[in-house]
Amino acid sequence: MKARVLVAGIGNVFLGDDGFGVEVVRRLAAEQLPGWVQVADYGIAGLHLAYELLGGYDATILVDATPHGRPPGTLSLIEADVDELAGAPEIDAHGMRPEAVFRLLRLLGGDAGRVLVVGVEPARVDEGIGLSPEVEAAVPAAVRTVTRLAWGARPAETALESEV
């Protein structure tokens, strides 16, 4: 069965809490997910993510650190406006941010489908390996949220408080 939903962990594990998405997809490996879901760690490999999305998906779930000025460890669920994301001004194959991934995808004629972002408010994104305690505590709730989304459930809230 071809995967119709892509769960993509993105971020840099060498920059503290920026490794959140990578850690969440690592833990998703132990979860029971439907056959139509593909889970992958893209880390900082945005170019690879763009090419993967060329295959076409009904939905893409990005998992990443997303600063919004909230308390560290706060989870959020955002439905991204792909048209707005695709308007990113530059493409850099070595450090592609999600905006540049969707711009490249649009230029190549691909479609990511509905795009959801499960994000966490980072406490720190300086050099160093490992998540802060606040972000580490949010990982189990993020895994549950992504699992529900992958199965087709929709959380009742768009801002989810992590369990501390």
Q: Using one digit for the tens of pLDDT, what is the confidence trace for 127-142?
A: 999 999 999 999 999 9
Walk across the sheet containing 114-120 and list its strands: 37-43, 5-10, 59-65, 114-120, 75-79, 159-160
Q: Any idea of the CA torsion for 156, 7, 118, 111, to the nearest 10 degrees?
A: -90
Please state whether the predicted TM-score (pTM) of the whole model is above 0.85. Answer: no
Question: How many other CB atoms are found less than 10 A from the CB of residue 85?
Answer: 20
Residue 142 domain boundaries: 5-160
| pLDDT at res. 6 | 92
The DSSP output letter for 48 is H
Distance CA 11, CA 38 (A): 18
| Residue the block writes with tokens 């406490």 | 123
End-to-end CA distance of the chain: 38
Crossing angle for the helix pair 133-150 and 20-28, nearest 10 degrees?
50
Distance CA 123, CA 145 (A): 20
| Residue the block writes with tokens 């592609």 | 96
CATH number at residue 93: 3.40.50.1450
Q: Report residue 164's pLDDT band, with 50, 70 and 90 as the boundaries.
A: very low
Give mean pLDDT, residues 10-30: 95
| pLDDT at res. 80 | 80
Total structural domains within the chain: 1
Residues 42-90 have pLDDT tens digits of 988 777 888 888 888 889 999 999 998 999 999 999 888 766 655 554 5
